[in-house]
Structure 1
Amino acid sequence: MLDIHFIREHPDIIRENNARRGCTVDVDEILKRDQTHRTLITKIDELRAARNKAAEAGKPSEEEIKQLRAHGDELKRLEEQQNENQEKLNELLSWLPNLFAPEVPHGKNDTDNVEIKRGGTIPAFDFTPKDHQTLGEELDIIDVARAVKVAGTRFYYLKNDGVLLRLALIQYGLKVLMEKGFSPFFTPHLARTRTLFGTGYLPFFKDDIWRVGGEKSDLSLIGTSEQTLVGYHQDEILDAAVLPLKYAGLSSCFRTEAGSYGKDTKGILRVHEFYKLEQIIFCLPEESEKWHEFALAIEERFCQELGLPYRVVLVCDGDCGAPGYKKYDIEVWFPAQDTYREATSNTNLTDFQTRRLNTRVKYQGKAVYPHTISATGLTDRFLIAILENNQRADGSVAIPEPLQPYLQGREEIRKRT
């Protein structure tokens, strides 16, 4: 949600931003309804004040009683008009996307994202590398075929050392984040519409969300623990002394993958359900750029310590979701595809979410909206990237050193006999 005062003062900036975003919301209609809102509020306040003054004056005359009744009827009419206007204004405001940071590049899609830097060394195999699904099946740690029979396409089983590898990644990632001051959370896997709206997933990504419980239900499966962790402080006023708040969320994530028909049909790169460790930060508005870079440094550390070749890209305006002000993606190398694929995203959301959720902070004598940062910690994409980058000619996979303590000191994964 954008600040209505900013919209009044800078309508041309909003129009330009809408054009970059492909947003068709009529800014003139917003300004018109905002003016109507202020006019109606003034009239309503005047009528209420007149009614209160008359009540304090003692017993009214017959003429005054008629006038009070007329005021009451007019007040009811204006309040109904105000409620209707406010509802339509809120609907328009709810569809306005966030602004962009000045450095966000122009582009149509992810092919126009701008590479910032690279890290790690792409492995040079003296054999043809296998894809992660083939490796997983041969090592008996991933089973896609049976998952399809049970749940349909884009689902998978992790089993045997696949389970242990995921748990090792989680324990390693939590250790790093907790050392950096993050508090760990297991969050609900369901969220109410208000929370999904507040975090900006509704109405912008409604087709990506699994609704559960029938038409009368107000619950949906979460697509990320960002939704439940940013929603954690809705309708609260925090003390500035507690900021930054750093939360590490652990949850399954559910995505419909609407619009992805035919993409990544082999393997488990693009699925309906996966597990994720998430970074969420609440911070003062003037510090969000610093904490955005802080979260990025942690994502890079994960890639570096796990030995995964990666690159950082600054996401262009055509690939940045409506709530995002500035976004980085980290793409890791997948040898079987001979390319980099997205493994993490990291977004500075400014006060877009906290305004929608009414989360404020006492700061310098007034209540302000804190900024939020949402960044991936680790997901199963790291697991499959490890399989592909660390594979050996004999079919075994080397376990990255940071994960070995969580796998009984083992250095490799081999098929169980």
Structure 2
Amino acid sequence: MIDIRALRENPDRVKENAARRGCTVDVDKLVALDREYVGLIREVEDLRAERNRLSKECQTNPAARDTVKEMKVTLANKESRMAELKTVVDEQMTWLPNFLSPDVPDGGSDADNAALRFVGKKPEFAFAGRDHQALGELLGIIDTGRGAKVAQSGFYYWVGKGAQLTQAMFFWAQQELVKRGFTLFMSPCVAKEQTLFGTGYLPFFKDQTYTLSGEDLALIGTSEQTLVGYHADEILDAGTLPRRYTSYTPCFRTEAGSYGKESRGIFRVHQFHKVEQIIFCLPEDSPRCHELCLENEEYLLQQLGLPYRVVNVCVGDMGAPGYKKYDIEAWYPGYGGYREVTSNTNLTDFQARRLGIRYKGNDGSKGFVHTISATGVTDRVVCAILENFQQEDGSVIIPEVLRPYTGFDRITPGV
């Protein structure tokens, strides 16, 4: 949530940002309602003070008693209107998007993201490369058919050495992040509505959320929700910042509207698995922490030997809570293009305001923390491993850094 002072002091900036981000909130109307609300606060405070003064005269001044009775009615009406306005203003404020970094590119979709750099060499095959779905079926390590039978389309099984490879990668990535100063968590896989609201997933991504019937709970779409919510309504010692947290969890998203080539295989699914990076930091440190998470993402992909590109995400491809976002897109030779495997967002104080996460320093400094949310690795990275390290016979070479955790260096058809 943005600071309401921004709306009051510079409504034109809020209006321009909302328009650029496609927000449908009527900012002019919101400003007018907020001004009425602020005006009523002053009127009510003055009326209460006058009522209290006159109440002291009621025993000796009959006229004062009549005036106090009239004032009670007036106050009740004004307080009712004030509460009504506050509800409307608060609700509309929740829909206003975060402000954008000056270097966020214009654009309406991921096709408009600005490529910053290309890293690694694309593999060259003397054969027709298979995509991860075809490889998974050939090797017997991905089973989408039985996933649909047991659950529904969009759920799947990693099987045998595919499951071993996937778990090896997740364990390895967690260990690497711990070496880089992250505290490892095992997080709940459900969260309250207030937690989803506080992290900015509600109301913006309500249609992507699996809610539990009859419960104030939903399946998490990312451990960002539970890791950021961990410090809700707390004041953190500025001297302990930045705090770096990581967790591995399953993640659940409806992925409504995913069809065609983009959804083939297990790239867009209802359940996936992810190692997440979360940082709580001082406002002045968030740009540096944002870059740090990007360095971690690139390090992991480089250690795995995957070619990729880094993009600066355009305004039309960024969620409303984001201030600035990087995506890393790995090369998928079987697909024939780059596809997103990590995202990394500086959310500034947007989440902290909604969740009430503040900091306080020994020097008297205080305010809302900034949060960074960044992917470590997901199942998509394993899909990229399959496609980039495939051999003509359908076998797949295991990246060297994962072999101590898998116990094998190749997955071969029929073995």
TM-score for both structures, normalised by structure 1: 0.95
2:58–2:65 CA contact under 8 A, matched in 1: no
What residue is the counterpart of 2:21 in the other structure? 21
Q: How many Å separate the matches in 1 of 2:303 and 2:108?
A: 33
Shift, 1:367, TM fit: 3.2
Which one of 350, 353, 361 corresponds to residue 352 of structure 1? Answer: 350
- Which whole-Å CA distance do the structure 2 matches of 1:148 and 1:63 have between them? 78
Separation in 1, partners of 2:337, 2:261: 15
In the TM superposition, 1:142-161 aligns within 5 A as 142-161=142-161
Matched letter for residue 368 of structure 2: Y
Letter in 2 for 1:108: G
Cα deviation per residue 1:128-159 (whole Å; 9 max; x = unaligned)? 21111121122221111111222221111011
Are the equivalent residues in 2 in contact too, given 1:54–1:60 (CA < 8 A)? Answer: no
- After the TM superposition, which residues 215-294 of structure 1 pair with which residues of structure 2 at under 5 Å, given as runs? 217-294=215-292
For the residues of structure 2 that align with 1:328 and 1:182, how far apart are their CA atoms? Answer: 20
Q: Deviations over 1:101-142 (max 9, x none)?
A: 111111111111110001111011122211111211222211
Say if 1:70 and 1:60 are closer, same or farther in 2 by CA, change over 3 A: farther
- % of aligned pairs identical? 52
The residue correspondences of 1:18-417 to structure 2 (distance < 5 A) are 18-53=18-53, 61-214=61-214, 217-363=215-361, 364-408=363-407, 410-415=408-413, 417=415
Say which is worse superposed, 307-316 or 352-361, in terms of deviation: 352-361
Q: Which amino acid aligns with 2:348?
A: T
One-letter amino acid matched to 1:304: Q
Which amino acid in structure 1 is aligned with residue 130 of structure 2?
A: K
| 8 Å Cα contact 2:57/2:64 also seen in 1 | no
Detail structure 1 runs of 4+ shifted over 6 Å in the superposition: 55-58
Q: Which moved more, 1:177-186 or 1:296-305?
A: 177-186
Look up the SS of the partner of 2:98 in the other structure.
coil
Cα separation, 2, equivalents of 1:158 and 1:165: 9
Q: Distance in 2 between matches of 1:48 and 1:72?
A: 9
User: How far apart, in 1, do the equivalents of 2:409 and 2:243 lie?
Assistant: 36
CA RMSD after TM alignment: 1.8
Report SS of the residue matched to 1:268.
coil
- Alpha-carbon offset, residue 63 of structure 1: 3.9
Deviations 1:238-285 (A, max 9, x none): 111121111102211111111223353421011010010000111111
Question: What code does the residue aligned with 1:184 have?
Answer: L
Counterpart contact for 1:117–1:312, Cα < 8 Å: yes
Q: 1:295 to 1:60 in 2, by over 3 A?
A: farther
Change (3 A) 1:379 1:50: same
Pair 1:69–1:367, CA change in 2 (3 A): farther
Q: Distance in 1 between matches of 2:266 and 2:283?
A: 38
Distance 1:295 1:257 in 2: 25
Q: What is the TM-score normalised by the length of structure 2?
A: 0.95
SS of 1:165 mapped into structure 2: helix
Contact kept, 8 Å, 2:326 with 2:345, in 1: the verdict is yes
Q: 2:404 is matched by which residue type in structure 1?
A: P
**Contact 1:225–1:251, Cα closer than 8 Å, also in 2:** yes
Distance in 2, Cα, partners of 1:37 & 1:7: 13
| CA distance in structure 1 between the aligned counterparts of 2:59 and 2:216, rounded to whole angstroms | 49
1:162/1:57 Cα in 2 relative to 1: closer, same or farther (>3 Å)? Answer: farther
8 Å contact 2:231–2:357 — kept in the other structure? yes
Any idea what SS the aligned residue of 2:165 has?
A: helix
**Unmatched runs of 5 consecutive residues or more in structure 2:** none
What is the deviation of 1:317? 0.9
Aligned AA for 1:332?
A
Q: 2:53 & 2:412 partners in 1: Cα distance? A: 85
Q: Residues 315 and 327 of structure 1 are in contact (CA less than 8 Å); yes or no, is this contact kept in structure 2? A: yes
Name the count of aligned residue pairs.
414
Is this contact kept in 2: 1:327–1:345, CA < 8 A? yes
Residues 305 and 402 of structure 1 are in contact (CA less than 8 Å); yes or no, is this contact kept in structure 2? yes
Summarize deviations over 1:11-49 as a string: whole Å, max 9, x none: 222222122111121111121122112111112222333
Is this contact kept in 1: 2:359–2:369, CA < 8 A? yes
Question: 1:204–1:59: structure 2 CA closer, same or farther, 3 Å change rule?
Answer: same
Rate the CA distance shift 1:56–1:98 in 2: closer, same or farther, 3 A: same
Q: How does 1:2-13 map to 2 (within 5 A)?
A: 2-13=2-13
SS at match of 1:395: coil
Describe the SS at the equivalent of 1:24.
coil
Quote the Cα distance in structure 1 between the aligned partners of 2:153 and 2:232: 36
Q: Distance in 1 between matches of 2:59 and 2:358?
A: 45
Question: How far apart in 2 are the matches of 1:20 and 1:263?
Answer: 30
For residues 288-336 of structure 1, give each alpha carbon's deviation from its aligned partner in whole angstroms, at most 9, with x where no partner exists: 1000000000000011000000000001111111111111000001111
**Residues of 1 paired with 2:123 and 2:386: CA distance?**
12
Task: Provide the C-alpha distance between the structure 2 equivalents of 1:317 and 1:290, rounded to a whole number of angstroms.
Answer: 21
